[in-house]
Structure 1
Amino acid sequence: MLRLWNLLTACFLATACLLFSGQLAAMEPCPALDAASPDARSAINHHICFYSARPGEPAHSATAPEDLPAELAWKSARGHDLVFSHTDSVYWIQLNVRNSSTESGLWYPKLHYPLLDEVTFWQKSRYQSGYSPEDVRPPLATGDLFPFATRGIDYRYYLLPVTLNAGESRAILIRVHSSGALNVPLGLMTPGEVVAESNHLTLVHGLFYGAMLVLAAFNLLLFFSSGTRYYFYNAFYIASLGMFLFAMGGFANQYFWPNSTALANLSIPLTLAVCALAMALFGSSFLEVGPGTLSAKALKSLATIAAGAVTVTLIIPYTKSILINTALALVVIVALQVIAYVRWRQGYKPAFWYLAAWMVMVIGALIYAMAAFGYLGDYPAREVMMQAVVGGQVILLNYALVQRWRLLNQKLLDVEHQARTELELKVHERTAQLRNTMRELEQANRKLASISLNDALTGLYNRRHMDNLLPELCREARRTGNPLSLALIDADHFKRINDTWGHDFGDQCLKQIAGILDEHVKRPRDVAIRFGGEEFALLLPGTDLDGARTLCLAILKAMRKTPLIAPGNETFHLTLSAGIAELATGQEPSDLFRKADEALYQAKGAGRDQIVLANRVSTPDQSTASSAN
């Protein structure tokens, strides 16, 4: 029991000592930093004190050092960066510096975070307790709520020139207030160090933003040359992401709208919403999600929400819009990862590289967001890391585009190979029919041309084919001495059919006629043609008048015996009339057609359902007519 009592007593005394020492540490003044010592400057966070003034406290409403209460419970930074999440508090920061060298020098207290609404610097001649107006030099008031020129030095970060004579001491007081998260990464640098760091960062940022601009322009050119949408969406995404980082880095405020405090405060949530919109559009186009699928609906909804967020950002306060748009961007990223994984599992190979790109992006975005919202320190390092992550992601995305192009190109080659194989087979068949007189390409062109030479209703050849073929057959007949006959066939009283039962039934009758012609015209070189309305023609090379008459008799007989069922189940029989002409010596194609047409009119005038031969002096085929009766 005694041992237990001694142990509890020891723990109590240790805890009391820790609390007492912590109170002493909190009450101790900030240790002075030797500005002439590089080691001391690199350990500046061990020399910084701060005070968080909540709304309602005197220090919150204080606008100058002399307005501060006489005694403030300053806290030591204890070697850590000053980072604070969203808060309404005003932060006062104190840094005591002295020059231990024998020569005067110039140093720059540097605040490495550009996104602060209000930042005010004061310099006090000495850092004893208490502030009086005569000891404090004129302040430097700047921040995003002020024009960029108020910073005094044309630089995206905040610099305060401090000149110290040999052995001189000075207290630097900073008042910081912002509507978002607070990052107050402080440094104390010589002019040479500032220039060296600026040159290094200029090179890094120049390479990064230059590469982003080149990739965006390249994808835009690919879009204009190919018309492929995902190139445009990729250019849109790269440009919007680059603009977001440009605004986050303070460059947009420095170069684009230095005199517009509204845009300085609005640019970050606005560009973030635009990034979310670009991500959704690019992902939907690149991943080739099928229309109507759950993935397509989700991405369409996210794109619509992002477009709405762009509008809403112009209305709601910054503190709400930055949180909403950040959450929206993270939701879009997660949704794109899930959909990319699903597409990859479905066998879409480019989705693997797309998924890898977004996995890299998620890690970087989370770290960068935590730094921007005040949950992680060393914001400058996070900014460079984010640029490296974005660079890696953009490279992977463009590599995914290359893989997608290779996949599409391979599909195109496969389709082309298949089409070429099929075309070669068709060309070979066509070449055999046309006695191997044309090359493969000519046969392919002829086949394509034949599509325009067919009658859409009946499937027979049309008038254009007849006009092309008849002169050729006439020349062949004159050259070889073989006969050539032309038969013109017309449906009798066809207008009565259209007027009685309508054109739809008339079309069925025309198809029936075409079927009978196709059934009887069997020789390879004989051609059945519908050259207008209810008029048909037969081109019969190697056939004289008697052969043509025999063929037409069979056709008229078959048509006469074919019952047609009209609307209302009424049955009737359709008859045909025909005129036949044979090419005579010295005749032209037009003469042959005219003679056959005159013979057809004679058949019509003689009572229909019969045949008239134009090259013979004869009367209509009475046997045909009598059988019709």
Structure 2
Amino acid sequence: MQLNSITSRRYDVWLLAITAAVIAFFVVVMHQYAPAQQHYAEISQLRFVSDPDGRFDARQLMGDSSIDWQPAANPVNLGMHDHPYWFRFSLPASLPEHDADLLEINYPLLDNIDVTFYSRGNPAPLAHKRLGDNLPFAYREIAHESHIVEVPRSEAPIEVLMRVKTSGTIKLPLRLWKEQVFIEYTSQHNLLMGMFFGVLMAIGLSNGFFFLTTRNLSFLVYAGYVFSMMLTLAVLHGQAYAHLWPAQVWFQGRAVVIFANTTIMFAVLFTNRLLQVDQHSRLVSRLLTLISLLFLGNILLSLVLPYAYVIKIFLVMLSTVVVFILSVSVWLAMKGNVLARYHAFAWSILLLSGLTASFDNFNLIAFPVPSTYLLILGAAVETLLLTLVLAISYSHNQEEKTDAQNKALEQEKQALDAQAELMSVQQQYQAELEYQVGERTLELEIALRELSEANRELENLNTIDSLTGIRNRRHFDKRLQAEARLSRREQTPLSLVMVDIDHFKQINDRYGHATGDACLRHVAKLLPGILKRPTDDVCRYGGEEFAIILPNTELEGATQLVDQIRATIEATPVIVDGHPVSMTLSAGVGTTIVGYDEQELALLKLADRMLYAAKQGGRNQVHGQFLTSGQDT
């Protein structure tokens, strides 16, 4: 899509303004509502031990001083492991006269968590609690998106022993809250998350409604992308399990992979449609379609394969595809596609936030806010920017349609004016004739002859195509009707040929409309010279289509003649500004002996179908068929 410089600069300003506004809003919100560091600091002496054989139990770990505990920093991130890990840490005393203490594990995707509380110096456990996504949501002690348990009361410091086993990443962000503080924080946090998901829901619904009213598939694909991203983030933050499918444990274990794959599948389809990649490279467009099918296949695999395998496949595909899509956008942007430039910018934001979150997940870089919030920031900016890009695309397409309609109306007005002028000329001749009849009887014959010649000239002009100089559609309709009557009366075969220049739009796009007009004139000049009989007639049917009427001609002879025409055009390029422009023709031939009124219309439809078959067969060829009297066209 090409935009003028003023419009492009205006959209650039909107793009930067939206990005800056969302980032500023995010920074302000995170500064005001991010959990204080003290909630992490109150968890001390955090350490862990791996249990690949599953040989440890709580009593052994609490009583055996020879266990090699490894120190850890909160939040813990040990990567992806399929065997259990044990964690041990200390909490301050939870006195009865104070608010209840709540221990939060702020990573909703852990499968199995066993938590045992001990009062320091006492080997008997204070409480034992089970958590995790492998249990229905209703089993949770506190109905919250994160894994939260109440710390039992104890006047002495508390030792916590925790066993974690999951099919995904072993990530353990631990926070200790006072109940009142946690309630206040949760209220603020839910407000912000509700605002974020509300915006995504509004964008998705509005694009769905746009599709229903415009039938533009780009809106439907983008709505699917927004809803899939919304569900992916809802699963990562625990809202989906809490509110959408709280009893579906099996589905919860696969929801991340299903919706993440769906998000990227819709993103690839949207990129292909929005940027109209097929107009620049059919190969790249087909690759994007293939990529979307691969993600669809990964969705189906996630229903049967374990989560640990499918998520690794997804991450490998994701890292490749995101870079590929970004490269396609940059490539199209370098070719002058403004939408591709905006699309590349939006994907860069999402890619940056995704890489930042990945670095945080692998503990390469520490951030003061959870990595999932970085994904929310990237998703918010990218979604809003892509919404702007889609709106720009639709607006520009509508403007092009309006311009085309206005141009067509102007041409129609000019045609009506020419017709009115023609009528005026005719009326003028009629008036002059009547005056001369009244004045001079002797000049009546001369005046009538002049008027007759003028009318013949006007009629001839009305049947000549102004661009090519051959007969036009109006002449063709009359001649076809006349030859059909002759065929019916004398029971002789009538052949009708429809000819179309192959890839004419590409010639116009590549060389310009002036070259396209030269090609039309070239074909119109060659066709009459190949026809053998004065009764044969060639007309310009419209656009790059020509029609040939061959009276008293069998199907075989007509097909041979048209194939000669095709070979001549192929071997005779047109020279424009000293450069040869080659072209080919596709043709459809229909032959019949007319047996009833208006059968010539059925013959025309048959020739059109044969032309379509030639096009579908690879172009630069001739297809023909005989039309019987009872044949359904």
Distance 1:99 1:334, change over 3 A: same
Residue 64 of structure 1 corresponds to which residue in structure 2? 58
Q: 1:202 aligns with which of 185, 190, 193?
A: 190
Residue 115 of structure 2 corresponds to which residue in structure 1? 121
Partner Cα separation in structure 2 for residue 455 and residue 392 of structure 1 = 55
Give the partner amino acid of 2:201. L
Give the partner amino acid of 1:503. L
| Offset from partner CA, 1:411-458 (integer Å, 9 cap, x none) | 2243234323323322221111233999xxxxxxxx9xxxxxx98894
Identity across matched positions, percent: 17
Would the aligned equivalents of 1:81 and 1:377 in 2 still touch at CA under 8 Å?
no
Residue 84 of structure 1 corresponds to which residue in structure 2? 78
Instruction: Count how many residue pairs are aligned between Structure 1 and Structure 2.
Output: 436
Residue 575 of structure 1 corresponds to which residue in structure 2? none
Partner Cα separation in structure 2 for residue 39 and residue 211 of structure 1 = 29
Residue 419 of structure 2 corresponds to which residue in structure 1? 430
Give the partner amino acid of 1:348. N
Partner Cα separation in structure 2 for residue 285 and residue 427 of structure 1 = 40
Give the partner amino acid of 1:62. F
Would the aligned equivalents of 2:205 and 2:223 in 1 still touch at CA under 8 Å?
yes
Does the residue aligned with 1:355 lie in a helix, a strand or coil? helix
Partner Cα separation in structure 2 for residue 108 and residue 181 of structure 1 = 23
Residue 42 of structure 2 corresponds to which residue in structure 1? 44
Would the aligned equivalents of 2:354 and 2:374 in 1 still touch at CA under 8 Å?
no
Q: 1:93 aligns with which of 80, 87, 91?
A: 87
Q: CA deviation at 1:505?
A: 9.2
- Which residues of 2 match residues 244-263 of structure 1 at below 5 A? 244-263=232-251
**RMSD over aligned Cα atoms:** 3.8
| Offset from partner CA, 1:560-587 (integer Å, 9 cap, x none) | xxxx999999xxxxxxxxxxxxxxxxxx
Q: CA deviation at 1:335?
A: 1.9
Q: 2:307 aligns with which of 305, 309, 318?
A: 318
Q: 2:70 aligns with which of 75, 81, 96?
A: 75
Q: Does 1:107 align with 2:105?
A: no
Does the residue aligned with 1:434 lie in a helix, a strand or coil? helix
Does the residue aligned with 1:164 lie in a helix, a strand or coil? coil
Would the aligned equivalents of 2:487 and 2:494 in 1 still touch at CA under 8 Å?
no
Give the partner amino acid of 1:213. M
Q: CA deviation at 1:240?
A: 0.4
Q: CA deviation at 1:186?
A: 0.7
Q: Does 1:503 align with 2:501?
A: no
Partner Cα separation in structure 1 for residue 248 and residue 484 of structure 2 = 85
- Which residues of 2 match residues 223-622 of structure 1 at below 5 A? 223-290=211-278, 293-372=282-361, 381-435=370-424, 458-460=476-478, 495-496=489-490, 498=492, 502-504=493-495
Distance 1:338 1:237, change over 3 A: same
Q: CA deviation at 1:504?
A: 2.7
Q: CA deviation at 1:67?
A: 5.9
Q: CA deviation at 1:260?
A: 2.2
Partner Cα separation in structure 2 for residue 43 and residue 506 of structure 1 = 87
Higher mean C-alpha deviation, range 335-344 or range 156-165: 156-165
Would the aligned equivalents of 2:357 and 2:375 in 1 still touch at CA under 8 Å?
yes
Higher mean C-alpha deviation, range 400-409 or range 412-421: 412-421
Partner Cα separation in structure 1 for residue 381 and residue 556 of structure 2 = 76
Distance 1:423 1:265, change over 3 A: same
Q: 1:181 aligns with which of 169, 193, 200?
A: 169
Partner Cα separation in structure 2 for residue 244 and residue 568 of structure 1 = 64
Q: CA deviation at 1:376?
A: 5.6
Partner Cα separation in structure 2 for residue 505 and residue 66 of structure 1 = 96
Q: CA deviation at 1:512?
A: 5.9
Would the aligned equivalents of 1:155 and 1:254 in 2 still touch at CA under 8 Å?
yes
Partner Cα separation in structure 1 for residue 369 and residue 391 of structure 2 = 33
Would the aligned equivalents of 1:431 and 1:437 in 2 still touch at CA under 8 Å?
no
Give the partner amino acid of 1:183. K
Distance 1:65 1:375, change over 3 A: farther
Q: CA deviation at 1:307?
A: 1.2
Residue 137 of structure 1 corresponds to which residue in structure 2? 126
Q: 1:53 aligns with which of 21, 36, 50?
A: 50
Give the partner amino acid of 1:119. I
Partner Cα separation in structure 2 for residue 318 and residue 401 of structure 1 = 34
Residue 544 of structure 1 corresponds to which residue in structure 2? none
Does the residue aligned with 1:398 lie in a helix, a strand or coil? helix
Runs of 5+ consecutive residues of structure 1 not aligned to the other structure: 1-37, 439-446, 448-453, 464-487, 519-533, 535-563, 570-629
Does the residue aligned with 2:49 lie in a helix, a strand or coil? strand
| Offset from partner CA, 1:437-491 (integer Å, 9 cap, x none) | 99xxxxxxxx9xxxxxx9889432898xxxxxxxxxxxxxxxxxxxxxxxx9998
Would the aligned equivalents of 1:153 and 1:159 in 2 still touch at CA under 8 Å?
yes
Give the partner amino acid of 2:86. W
Residue 585 of structure 2 corresponds to which residue in structure 1? none
Partner Cα separation in structure 1 for residue 258 and residue 87 of structure 2 = 31
| Offset from partner CA, 1:577-602 (integer Å, 9 cap, x none) | xxxxxxxxxxxxxxxxxxxxxxxxxx
Distance 1:568 1:358, change over 3 A: closer
Distance 1:377 1:173, change over 3 A: farther
Q: CA deviation at 1:82?
A: 0.9
Would the aligned equivalents of 1:113 and 1:379 in 2 still touch at CA under 8 Å?
no
Normalising by structure 1, report the TM-score. Answer: 0.62
Partner Cα separation in structure 2 for residue 506 and residue 342 of structure 1 = 44
Distance 1:372 1:379, change over 3 A: farther
Normalising by structure 2, report the TM-score. Answer: 0.62
Would the aligned equivalents of 2:96 and 2:153 in 1 still touch at CA under 8 Å?
no
Residue 590 of structure 1 corresponds to which residue in structure 2? none
Runs of 5+ consecutive residues of structure 2 not aligned to the other structure: 1-35, 428-461, 463-471, 499-527, 540-550, 558-633
Would the aligned equivalents of 1:51 and 1:74 in 2 still touch at CA under 8 Å?
yes
| Offset from partner CA, 1:189-247 (integer Å, 9 cap, x none) | 10111112111110111001111111000000000100111100000000001111111
Partner Cα separation in structure 2 for residue 340 and residue 310 of structure 1 = 26
Does the residue aligned with 2:64 lie in a helix, a strand or coil? coil
Greater Rg by CA: 1
Would the aligned equivalents of 2:101 and 2:176 in 1 still touch at CA under 8 Å?
yes
Q: CA deviation at 1:257?
A: 2.1
Does the residue aligned with 1:309 lie in a helix, a strand or coil? helix
Q: 1:172 aligns with which of 160, 182, 190?
A: 160
| Offset from partner CA, 1:513-552 (integer Å, 9 cap, x none) | 6979x9xxxxxxxxxxxxxxx9xxxxxxxxxxxxxxxxxx
Q: CA deviation at 1:493?
A: 9.3
Does the residue aligned with 1:137 lie in a helix, a strand or coil? strand
Partner Cα separation in structure 2 for residue 331 and residue 323 of structure 1 = 13
Give the partner amino acid of 1:74. W
Does the residue aligned with 1:460 lie in a helix, a strand or coil? helix
Q: Does 1:161 align with 2:158?
A: no
Would the aligned equivalents of 2:118 and 2:127 in 1 still touch at CA under 8 Å?
no
Partner Cα separation in structure 2 for residue 506 and residue 401 of structure 1 = 44
Give the partner amino acid of 1:229. L
Q: CA deviation at 1:339?
A: 1.4
Give the partner amino acid of 2:223. A
Give the partner amino acid of 2:64. A
Would the aligned equivalents of 1:83 and 1:375 in 2 still touch at CA under 8 Å?
no
Partner Cα separation in structure 1 for residue 288 and residue 236 of structure 2 = 26
Q: CA deviation at 1:149?
A: 2.3
